[in-house]
Amino acid sequence: MTTFEGIPMARTPAGHTLVNATIDEIHEKSLLRKSLRRFDLVFFLICTVVGLDTIGAVAKNGAQGFTWLIFLAVVFLVPYGLLMAELGSTFPFEGGPYVWCRLAFGRFVAALVTVLYWCSNPIWLGGTLTILAVSAFSDFVTPLHGPAEVVFALAFIWFAVASAIVSFRFGKWVPSVGAFVRLAVVGFFTVSVLLYAARNGVHGFDAPAFAPGYAVFIAVVPVLIFNYVGFELPSSASEEMVDPRRDVPRTIAWSGAGAVLLYGLPVLAILLVLPASRVTGVGGFLDAAKEVLTVYGGTVSPDGTVTLTGTGKILGAVTAAAFIWALLSSGTTWIMGADRAQAAAGFDGAAPRALGRISPRFGTPVTVNLLSGVVSTVVMLVAFRLSGGSADRYFTIALGVAISTTTMSYLGIFPTLVRLRRTHPDEHRPFRVPGGMTGAWIAGSLTTFWAVVATVWLLWPGLGVDWFGASGNPDQALPAGIGRAAFELIQVVPVVLLLAIGVLFYVLGAPTRTRRAAPGEVSATDERGMAPDER
């Protein structure tokens, strides 16, 4: 063992040498604290993968939404889980996706990918999660308008940011409690649907309703891909885990099985209670919950208006509070993980050095956390203004931007498995995707294919519905009241802007890249092996 500027150093177990590691990286990693155990990771992943915000967006496509949910669980979720289990256990380094891209394709590509990956989350927090929280409070507690709506949204956003700032020792309880809340909400909702069905009957659907169709396929696939991603997120905090090599593959398996169940049950329940024509993206889960809660007290008028009374009203308020907490824990968890990936880029020289600061007090990337809060606040204010008071329009626009930036980032993450199999063949792999290189190619190709498909259909909704003699109007896939030109502008401009920011971040990271640690040495907490020709 040797030391470099007073910090313990060692070679990697696999015999690789650390090339182009920065002095800043070594210093910042010395401030990290190990506090994530297997128990924490299971609930962290449940909060990451199972989001209640998009259940309505799936259910509004009718029974076909459930068909495609199961289909993508097989052709996307399974290979995706295998891929992330290998990467997360083989390369357990702070920054996760950033490090994998950096190892596979170099700092510049990693800089672009990480900006998309990071910034999609404050867009999501300030967009879809905030409007759903506002809607839940307005529908079940008291209506929010004007300044009250903005104050509530600000409190929602900055509580999530504050939870990401505090030490993982305390902050990890937000996703842990959020996971339990999810289980309680979905369980209570499902039981209430059974009681509702026994008393009032159900809307129901026949077998042909599950038959797949192209128009629904292209509408629901991007949302389902967005639902299922997140297995890599805890790996952004790998060096804060107690035993990532053992825990990552197991927790991915458990949370993957739970994700299918926790998405499938409420989607089916919503379709049993409400006809697809009455389900909206923003209100699907909330509208169905409100109607089934009438079994405890309340009425449904002939025009579908629901009024809760007595116990039903009390349970409605409790359900809304639990729903808001579930949304909050989703946003907090993603901010925690994605911000660490961006911080890793900062202390590695692929972003401004200031973004790579780890707080000595909390052991968290406070600067990036605060920047995420600022971005979320701006997105919220802009989206409120652009939506013209339409919650559903705001939800659709914000969700589209959040999903497209997310899926584009995975275009740089998914291919790293095959690349790292070739460039780092001697790394110890506690878990391998079965089937050797063929299995790696299948997992990498399937996941990348679906990321491409989701991105294309998000950037151009309705693509292909009028091809090959098929009937339909592609513009019907657009949000109501928004033309094609306006929609494309709203979707494309943020992507171009984020890519430009990625280039700028890389340029601003140049001074950090010059402060290299001694060749052939690596901090005792970092077992990463890098190829000598890596840029």
When pLDDT is averaged across residues 292-310 and rounded to a whole number, the result is 86
The CATH number covering residue 481 comes to 1.20.1740.10
| 116 three-class SS | helix
Q: Please give the residue range of the domain that contains residue 53.
A: 2-518
Q: Could you tell me if 172 and 35 are in contact, meaning their C-beta atoms sit under 8 angstroms apart?
A: yes
- Predicted confidence at residue 102, as pLDDT, reads 94
**In the structure encoding, which two tokens stand for residue 436, read together?**
């050797």
The pTM assigned to this predicted structure is: 0.86
Q: Report pLDDT digits (tens) over 498-516.
A: 999 999 999 999 999 988 7
Give me the sign of the Cα torsion angle 432, 253, 403, 108: negative
Judge whether residue 19 has pLDDT over 80: no
Judge whether residue 207 has pLDDT over 90: no
Q: Could you tell me if 93 and 530 are in contact, meaning their C-beta atoms sit under 8 angstroms apart?
A: no
Alpha-carbon distances, residue 154 vs 317, 379, 386 (angstroms): 21, 11, 18
When pLDDT is averaged across residues 3-16 and rounded to a whole number, the result is 35
SS (H, E, C) 285-345: HHHHHHHHHHHHCEEECCCCCEEECHHHHHHHHHHHHHHHHHHHHHHHHHHHHHHHHHHHH
Residue 429 falls inside a structural domain: yes
At residue 281 the predicted structure's pLDDT band, cuts being 50, 70 and 90, is low
When pLDDT is averaged across residues 30-34 and rounded to a whole number, the result is 86
- Predicted confidence at residue 402, as pLDDT, reads 79
Phi and psi at 298, nearest 5°, equal 150, 175
Q: Whole-angstrom Cα distance, residue 411 to residue 459?
A: 15
Judge whether residue 518 has pLDDT over 70: no
Q: Could you tell me if 472 and 213 are in contact, meaning their C-beta atoms sit under 8 angstroms apart?
A: no
Residue 526 falls inside a structural domain: no
DSSP letter, residue 158: H
| 374 three-class SS | helix
Q: Report pLDDT digits (tens) over 195-204.
A: 888 887 777 6
Residue 150 falls inside a structural domain: yes
When pLDDT is averaged across residues 309-319 and rounded to a whole number, the result is 91
Domain count, the chain: 1
Mention every residue, 6+ apart, whose C-beta is less than 8 A from residue 334.
Answer: 48, 121, 124, 125, 230, 233
Q: What percent of the chain has pLDDT over 70?
A: 84
Q: Whole-angstrom Cα distance, residue 131 to residue 137?
A: 10
Q: Whole-angstrom Cα distance, residue 535 to residue 518?
A: 16
Residue 525 falls inside a structural domain: no
Residue 404 falls inside a structural domain: yes
DSSP secondary structure string, 376-429?
HHHHHHHHHHHHTT-HHHHHHHHHHHHHHHHHHHHHHHTTHHHHHHHH-TTS--
Q: Whole-angstrom Cα distance, residue 235 to residue 344?
A: 12
- Predicted confidence at residue 18, as pLDDT, reads 42
Residue 301 falls inside a structural domain: yes
Residue 28 falls inside a structural domain: yes
Residue 528 falls inside a structural domain: no
Cα–chain-centroid distance for residue 431?
24
Helical ranges in 73-229 per DSSP H: 78-90, 97-105, 107-124, 130-140, 146-165, 168-171, 173-200, 214-228
